Amino acid sequence: MPDDQLSVGELGRTVDAMRREFRDGMAGLNSRLDRLVSAEVYTLQSAHTDQRIAALSQELQKEISAREAIEAAFEKYQLDERDRREKDRQARLYQAIVPVLMGLLAAAIAIWAVVAK
């Protein structure tokens, strides 16, 4: 018998091996298909994800607005505090200068009174 001809037993074993390979391949394909998501589920998940992203975007915008408001309020507070300190400094300066000027005026009047006699 030449080498290119198979006996009936060898042919049966080859067919059985091919069947097993085919079954294993189909089982692998089925297991991969089981992991796939249906179009309806994907659409629902996508819609939910889009809604969640939109909600998070709105929350982020609110937080940004709140932060900007806090920064503006803090800047206003700093300006008001600077103005208050400037007014306090001026008040202390006037409180120091006015008595000195009054003393000098009193001394000048006293000297003038002595000189005028």
Separation of alpha carbons 40 and 115, rounded Å: 111
Q: Which pLDDT score is estimated for 79?
A: 97
Q: Read off the pLDDT of residues 61-108 as tens digits, 9 standing for 90 and up.
A: 999 999 999 999 999 999 999 999 999 999 998 888 988 999 999 999
Question: Kindly report the CA angle at 116 between 110 and 117, in degrees rounded to 5?
Answer: 100
Q: Which pLDDT score is estimated for 1?
A: 46
Letter string b/e over residues 54-76, b meaning 16 or more CB atoms within 10 A of that residue's CB = eeeeeeeeeeeeeeeeeeeeeee
Amino acid at 68: E
